[in-house]
RNA sequence: CGGGGCGUAGCGCAGUCUGGUAGCGCACCUGCUUCGGGAGCAGGGGGUCGGAGGUUCGAAUCCUCUCGCCCCGACCA
């Protein structure tokens, strides 16, 4: 049992102006954290207790599948040069020199350190599989730290790495982490979704992010009732059928004068059509992925339905570029042949047309095409034309004529123009149906609390880790990596809870600061509030109840401060503890009040039964 | 790195335009009263105005430089 009167819990009545998001304000006001610099925070006793509880849960679950390490954060620069990440990380990594002038870095993650241990120690397939993890401070020189503990430069991360002899083994290690992560987040009281993630340039075979919906998040994810969930960068949907326009005249493309009609809205109004019956053109220049700067940029033109938005991550992956930027007017004229507002697919000189690669949509053929695109040098390259899947099979569309103040109608893909490839390159929209169960998709901001990723051979190859297999042949172990942001669990829990309180009491002035944590991660499971410590009966009863609870194994905080009841109630709520026992007037009748902040209920319980009553509540919450 | 905003007491803010040597609320300390939803009255302590330089008889206030923090964007294995 701990006594509030002896503790350091510096609560604030008002939040510092620097705090913008709910969790940041709450963490400051509740005395969990204090800021030292941009993206650098001290964890005060309450914050530390909560963090410790989260770490304990992570350890318990991770110990079921792996072994804990403690690894150095101070790393020699050479180690990161070996893996090739020294250059990749650039300014995102903190650099320093020791007294001899040797270059050191502060580790952002521990793939390099772990792999160096693996290559030195692992010799045989008999030593595999291994799952190694650590919970440590990581450093990232974020270009823009923000939102309290959500995006910081120094933070705790649980990082795990698996080494397996083959892909089947990696699948197993990956699945173990999937299960462990679900257990961890559930025990922490989080409502999460596991989404398919963009595996980036590495093209790994599997990658899942564990996300918690909150407006403070920086990612957009789509999910539906049938269990489909994906990052917007990966999400696909079923499109409702769209009625094609009836052909006019002889049904072939017809040039129409459309003076000044440069926007989708103008054009659809002019023709009296839906935006889904119009073709939108988005034009980019991009550097070929994996090639040195200085190579000429390549033109990439995307065509989508007028009511759809291009997803640059998808387009980047498809086109094999490292990045994209919009074309300048000069580039539009050169590569497409028309002015902005009147761009269209007819007449573009493409990198490849009508070839065997044309029209491929998925699978190995698509991968092959992407490979080919990557291998085409940029010198003198013709335009790469990408048609979004949403336009496949459509007829009699309206599009720009690549001529100022003119559009075409009766344009049919495949008949009137071809493309380099057809692919999914758009953002899904909320309300569209998911691809597996046909349920409406919900789109929302979310924060990433965990990520599991099939790494493959990236590090074992570059850093030279080898073991002998059963045939005595030297093979590379295959790796997976798996991260959890410890502070983000706390932050996400606060954000979610604060948001639901706010939704419930939209009018309450400070609803944004109302929240409650799961007892599993709250700094204390219960606060025993003696409403007036000057009344000997109340004081004695509170002491006894707190002592009993403590003896029963409950993590209890006794508010024995000589403060007014209102102050104590407010403080107890501020620190997010889910249960509160009020020792007050009803004691004369042998009763105390149990306030359940998660259920938002208050019940009278007899002094004799309060310990058992609370214990059963706590046990239920741990299921 | 681009755009915007802000640094005055522990927290929230006023004062800056129109220079005259710093003020309010909360918090803190003392006393009395009060005691179930951030108490009342009285008294009190605390800042040299982010930093440096300059202009001036005189600078929180004007000028120059600089440091820091927040927000939007870019970036984010």
Any strand B atom closer than 7 Å to A30 CB: no
> In this structure, what are the phi and psi dihedrals at residue A367, rounded to the nearest 5 degrees?
-60, -40
The answer, yes or no, to whether residue A506 has pLDDT greater than 80, is no
Which nucleotide across the nucleic acid strands is nearest to A458, CA versus C1'? B77
* CA–CA–CA angle A222, A225, A228 (5° rounding): 50
Any strand B atom closer than 7 Å to A33 CB: no
- Placement of tokens 């979704």 in the chain: A193
Distance from C-alpha of A41 to C-alpha of A152, rounded to nearest angstrom: 8
> In this structure, what are the phi and psi dihedrals at residue A486, rounded to the nearest 5 degrees?
-60, -55
Q: Which of A58-67, A435-444, A501-510 has the lowest average pLDDT?
A: A501-510
pLDDT digits (tens, 9 = 90+) for A224-272: 998 888 888 888 899 888 899 999 889 899 999 999 998 888 999 999 9
Any strand B atom closer than 7 Å to A109 CB: yes
For residues A156 and A137, the answer to whether their CB atoms sit within 8 Å is yes
Any strand B atom closer than 7 Å to A590 CB: no
Any strand B atom closer than 7 Å to A583 CB: yes
Beta bridge partners of residue A159, listed in sequence order: A134, A483
Distance from C-alpha of A30 to C-alpha of A15, rounded to nearest angstrom: 9
Q: Per the structure block, which two tokens stand in for A219?
A: 């990612």
Give the dihedral of Cα atoms A191, A195, A198, A199; nearest 10 deg.
100
Which nucleotide across the nucleic acid strands is nearest to A510, CA versus C1'? B38
Any strand B atom closer than 7 Å to A89 CB: yes
**Angstrom distance, A143 CA to B2 C1':** 13
* pLDDT of amino acid A70: 97
**Angstrom distance, A248 CA to B73 C1':** 45
For residues A400 and A281, the answer to whether their CB atoms sit within 8 Å is yes
Pairing of strands A130-139, A40-43: unpaired
**Angstrom distance, A143 CA to B1 C1':** 9
Q: What number is the average pLDDT over the span A603-615?
A: 97
pLDDT digits (tens, 9 = 90+) for A106-128: 999 999 999 999 999 999 999 99
Distance from C-alpha of A235 to C-alpha of A427, rounded to nearest angstrom: 7
Any strand B atom closer than 7 Å to A145 CB: yes
**Angstrom distance, A481 CA to B67 C1':** 40
Q: Which of residues 472-511 of A touch strand B (CB under 7 A)?
A: 481, 483
Distance from C-alpha of A486 to C-alpha of A9, rounded to nearest angstrom: 22
Any strand B atom closer than 7 Å to A39 CB: yes
Q: What is the ipTM of this complex?
A: 0.95
What pTM, to 2 d.p., does this model score? 0.89
Per 3-state DSSP, what percentage of chain A is helix, strand, and coil (rounded to 5)? 30, 30, 40
Specify the 3-state DSSP secondary structure of A138.
strand
Pairing of strands A67-68, A40-43: unpaired
For residues A217 and A445, the answer to whether their CB atoms sit within 8 Å is yes
Any strand B atom closer than 7 Å to A13 CB: yes
Pairing of strands A384-388, A421-423: parallel
Q: How far apart are the first and last CA of chain A?
A: 24
Q: What number is the average pLDDT over the span A500-507?
A: 83
Nucleotide B13: nearest residue by CA–C1'? A17
> In this structure, what are the phi and psi dihedrals at residue A586, rounded to the nearest 5 degrees?
-75, -5
Any strand B atom closer than 7 Å to A442 CB: no
CB environment A439-469: b (16+ within 10 A), e (fewer): eebbbbebbbbbbbbbbbebbbeebebebee
Any strand B atom closer than 7 Å to A287 CB: no
Distance from C-alpha of A35 to C-alpha of A145, rounded to nearest angstrom: 12
Q: What number is the average pLDDT over the span A47-70?
A: 98
Any strand B atom closer than 7 Å to A531 CB: yes
Run of H or E including A491: helix A486-504
Q: Which of residues 382-411 of A touch strand B (CB under 7 A)?
A: none
Q: Which of residues 115-134 of A touch strand B (CB under 7 A)?
A: none
Pairing of strands A95-97, A103-106: antiparallel
> In this structure, what are the phi and psi dihedrals at residue A161, rounded to the nearest 5 degrees?
-135, 135
Specify the 3-state DSSP secondary structure of A23.
helix
Any strand B atom closer than 7 Å to A28 CB: no
* pLDDT of amino acid A359: 44
The answer, yes or no, to whether residue A366 has pLDDT greater than 60, is no
Q: Which of A153-167, A217-231, A356-370, A519-533 has the lowest average pLDDT?
A: A356-370
Any strand B atom closer than 7 Å to A585 CB: yes
Any strand B atom closer than 7 Å to A200 CB: yes
Distance from C-alpha of A109 to C-alpha of A406, rounded to nearest angstrom: 54
């Amino acid at each position: 049992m701990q006594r509030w009167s002896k503790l350091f819990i510096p609560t604030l009545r008002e939040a510092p102006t620097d705090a913008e998001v709910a969790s940041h304000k709450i963490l400051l006001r509740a005395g969990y954290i204090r800021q030292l610099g941009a993206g650098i925070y001290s964890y005060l006793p309450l914050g530390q207790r909560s963090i410790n509880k989260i770490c304990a849960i992570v350890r318990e679950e991770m110990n079921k599948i792996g072994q804990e390490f403690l690894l150095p954060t101070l790393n020699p620069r050479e180690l990161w040069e070996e893996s090739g990440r020294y250059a990749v990380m650039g300014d995102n990594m903190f650099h320093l020199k020791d007294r001899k002038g040797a270059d050191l870095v502060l580790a952002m993650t521990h793939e390099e350190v772990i792999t160096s241990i693996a290559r030195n120690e692992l010799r045989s397939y008999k030593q595999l599989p291994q799952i190694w993890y650590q919970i440590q401070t990581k450093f990232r020189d974020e270009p823009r730290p923000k939102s309290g503990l959500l995006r910081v430069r120094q933070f705790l991360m649980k990082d795990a790495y698996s080494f397996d002899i083959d892909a089947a083994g990696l699948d197993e290690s990956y699945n173990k982490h999937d299960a462990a992560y679900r257990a961890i987040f559930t025990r922490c009281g989080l409502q999460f979704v596991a989404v398919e993630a963009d595996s980036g340039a590495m093209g790994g075979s599997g990658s899942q992010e564990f996300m918690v919906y909150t407006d403070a998040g920086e990612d957009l994810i789509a999910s539906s009732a049938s269990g489909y969930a994906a990052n917007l960068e990966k999400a696909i949907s079923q499109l409702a059928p769209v009625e094609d326009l009836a052909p006019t005249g002889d049904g072939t493309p017809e040039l129409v004068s459309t003076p000044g009609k440069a926007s989708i809205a103008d054009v659809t109004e002019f023709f009296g059509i839906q935006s889904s019956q119009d073709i939108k053109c988005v034009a980019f220049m991009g550097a070929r992925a994996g090639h040195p700067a200085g190579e000429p940029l390549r033109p990439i033109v995307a065509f989508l339905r007028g009511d759809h938005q291009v997803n640059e991550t998808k387009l980047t992956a498809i086109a094999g570029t490292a990045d994209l930027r919009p074309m300048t007017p000069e580039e539009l004229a050169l590569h497409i042949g028309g002015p902005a507002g009147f761009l269209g697919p007819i007449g573009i000189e493409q990198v490849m047309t009508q070839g065997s690669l044309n029209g491929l949509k998925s699978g190995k053929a698509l991968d092959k095409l992407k490979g080919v695109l990557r291998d085409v040098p940029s010198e003198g390259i013709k335009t790469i034309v990408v048609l979004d899947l949403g336009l496949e099979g459509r007829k009699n569309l309206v599009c720009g004529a690549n001529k100022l103040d003119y559009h075409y109608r009766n344009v049919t893909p495949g008949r009137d123009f071809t493309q380099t490839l057809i692919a999914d390159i758009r953002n899904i929209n909320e309300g569209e149906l998911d691809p597996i169960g046909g349920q409406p998709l919900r789109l929302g901001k979310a924060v990433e609390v965990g990520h599991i990723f099939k790494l493959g051979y990236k590090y074992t190859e570059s850093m030279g880790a080898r073991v002998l297999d059963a045939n005595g042949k030297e093979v590379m172990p295959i790796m997976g990596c798996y991260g959890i942001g410890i502070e983000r669990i706390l932050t996400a829990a606060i954000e979610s809870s604060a948001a639901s309180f706010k939704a419930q009491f939209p009018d309450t002035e400070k609803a944004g600061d109302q929240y409650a944590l799961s007892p599993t991660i709250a700094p204390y499971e219960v606060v025993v509030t003696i409403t007036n410590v000057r009344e000997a009966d109340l004081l004695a009863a509170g002491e006894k109840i707190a002592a009993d609870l403590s003896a029963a194994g409950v993590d209890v905080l006794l508010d024995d401060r000589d403060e007014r009841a209102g102050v104590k109630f407010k403080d107890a709520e501020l620190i997010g503890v889910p249960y509160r026992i009020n020792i007050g007037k009803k004691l004369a009748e042998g009763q105390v009040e149990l306030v359940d902040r998660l259920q938002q209920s208050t019940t009278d319980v007899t002094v004799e039964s309060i310990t058992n009553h609370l214990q059963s509540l706590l046990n239920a919450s741990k299921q």
